[in-house]
């Protein structure tokens, strides 16, 4: 049996991946033995090594953390303090749903909080102040809401001017505002291209939306994140094809620049900022290529290819706390819905 096949058996035995319900390989409730837990932890504590463009060796070490409360994919996540908030998505059944799962990194534990107001998947999430903002997505393309993490209360916000689906990972907080960029426009004629170049800014103080300078090229499911008062838009799809362009937006000047492209055009499964670097985890939807890790250095405008992740992920979420980043949920290439929470740390 190959190393990969052994890893698959371990994952299934541990309950880290669980088959779908309703004719999609009914969900199995598995209780992992202690011995297998130790073995699985050892597998994920391996080191991935690749040389960066300057010749140094960048290493990533993986550690298995506490499983999510339930299987989840096509959702998004954001960080406030020492906690990650995983919102919405699809879980035990094939439909958009309302989830609020909270991971406490200090305790390595999950909690279930009050459900969002609207069911949705393939949406965007951003954190600002003491609130998590949830925008657009399938089934709620024009709806916006915010979660007060202190009060455990949801509130509906002003509707999005340009309702958009498939805005996975496509929102960022910057300068006290929230930016929703790209996606698939909901209100277009059948003969129009739904890929959007919209860049709309939400002002939480006034509960208003303002249209800003559009993306240089339309995108859906792009990886959007903020770093040092700039916003980066990475990869995404245009006209049903994966793209590798990277665009930088400066809110102060309302202008765009083109940056170094990602090494290959790939569907994104999540993005997070760790210190002075941007971590991008790729997935795939149709071709089932291996998930990979790319590290982008904004200050040097260069990419590092760290190679494949130990298993494939699709429609997972990625978030960071301090010098660590996390891969949450998703599905694998066999359409199993995952409940894993994996912690990655990297350094030279």
pLDDT (tens digit, 0 to 9) for every residue of the chain, 348 residues total? 443 444 444 444 333 444 343 333 333 333 343 443 444 444 555 566 566 666 677 788 889 999 999 999 999 999 999 999 999 999 876 667 899 999 999 999 999 999 999 999 999 999 999 999 999 999 999 999 999 999 999 999 999 999 999 999 999 999 999 999 999 998 776 667 799 999 999 999 999 999 999 999 999 999 999 999 999 999 999 988 999 999 999 999 999 999 999 999 988 889 999 989 999 999 876 656 788 999 999 999 999 888 888 778 889 999 999 999 999 999 887 888 999 999 998 876
User: What is the tally of helices (H) and strands (E) in the chain?
Assistant: 2, 31
**Residue 255, number of CB atoms within 10 A of its CB:** 11
Secondary structure element (H or E) that encloses residue 182, with its range = none
Residue showing tokens 């991971």: 103
pLDDT given for residue 52 in this prediction = 64
Q: What is the DSSP letter of 82?
A: T
- Give the C-alpha separation, 289 to 229, whole Å: 34
- Give the C-alpha separation, 132 to 257, whole Å: 28
Give the dihedral of Cα atoms 134, 272, 320, 78; nearest 10 deg. 0
pLDDT given for residue 82 in this prediction = 96
pLDDT given for residue 191 in this prediction = 65
Compute CA 48 distance to the chain's CA centroid, rounded to the nearest angstrom: 21
Q: What is the DSSP string of 230-261?
A: EEEEE--EETTEE---EEEEETTTTEEEEEPP
- Give the C-alpha separation, 137 to 48, whole Å: 34
CB–CB of 78/126 below 8 Å? Answer: yes
Compute CA 239 distance to the chain's CA centroid, rounded to the nearest angstrom: 21
- Give the C-alpha separation, 312 to 214, whole Å: 33
**Residue 178, number of CB atoms within 10 A of its CB:** 27
pTM, 2 dp: 0.86
- Give the C-alpha separation, 19 to 10, whole Å: 15
pLDDT given for residue 258 in this prediction = 98
pLDDT given for residue 190 in this prediction = 65
pLDDT given for residue 335 in this prediction = 81
Q: In the chain, what are the helix, strand and coil shares in percent, each to the nearest 5?
A: 5, 45, 50
Sign of the torsion angle spanned by Cα atoms 9, 320, 273, 142: positive
Give the dihedral of Cα atoms 326, 331, 336, 339; nearest 10 deg. 30
pLDDT given for residue 316 in this prediction = 93
Class of domain 65-347: mainly beta
Nearest to 166 by CA among 237, 104, 232, 117: 237
CB–CB of 111/341 below 8 Å? Answer: no
């Amino acid at each position: 049996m190959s190393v990969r096949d052994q890893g698959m058996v371990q994952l299934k035995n541990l309950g880290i991946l669980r088959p779908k319900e309703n004719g999609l390989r009914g969900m199995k409730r598995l209780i992992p033995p202690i011995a297998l837990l130790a073995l699985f932890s050892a597998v994920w504590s391996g080191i991935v090594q690749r040389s960066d463009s300057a010749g140094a060796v960048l290493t990533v070490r993986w550690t298995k953390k506490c499983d999510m409360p339930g299987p989840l994919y096509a959702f998004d996540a954001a960080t406030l303090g020492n906690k990650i908030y995983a919102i919405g998505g699809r879980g035990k059944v094939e439909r958009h749903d309302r989830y609020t799962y909270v991971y406490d990194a200090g305790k390595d534990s999950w909690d279930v909080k009050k459900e969002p107001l609207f069911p949705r998947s393939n949406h965007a999430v951003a954190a600002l102040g003491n609130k998590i903002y949830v925008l657009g997505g399938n089934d709620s393309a024009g709806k916006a809401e915010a979660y007060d993490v202190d009060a455990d209360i949801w509130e509906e916000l002003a509707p999005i001017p340009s309702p958009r689906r498939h805005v996975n990972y496509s929102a960022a907080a910057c300068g006290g505002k929230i930016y929703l960029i790209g996606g698939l426009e909901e209100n277009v004629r059948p003969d129009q291209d739904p890929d959007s170049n919209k860049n709309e800014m939400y002002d939480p103080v006034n509960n208003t939306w303002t249209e800003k300078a559009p993306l240089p090229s339309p995108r859906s499911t792009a990886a959007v994140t903020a770093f040092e008062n700039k916003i980066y838009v990475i990869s995404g799809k245009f006209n049903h094809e994966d793209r590798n362009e990277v665009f930088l937006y400066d809110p102060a000047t309302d202008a765009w620049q083109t940056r170094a492209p990602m090494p290959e055009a790939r569907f994104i499964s999540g993005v997070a900022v760790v210190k002075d670097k941007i971590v991008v985890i790729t997935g795939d939807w149709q071709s089932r290529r291996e998930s990979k890790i790319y590290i982008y250095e904004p200050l040097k405008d260069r990419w590092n290819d760290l190679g494949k992740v130990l298993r494939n992920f699709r429609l997972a979420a990625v978030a960071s706390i301090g010098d660590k980043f996390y891969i949450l949920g998703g599905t694998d290439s066999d359409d199993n819905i995952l409940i894993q929470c994996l912690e990655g740390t990297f350094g030279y």
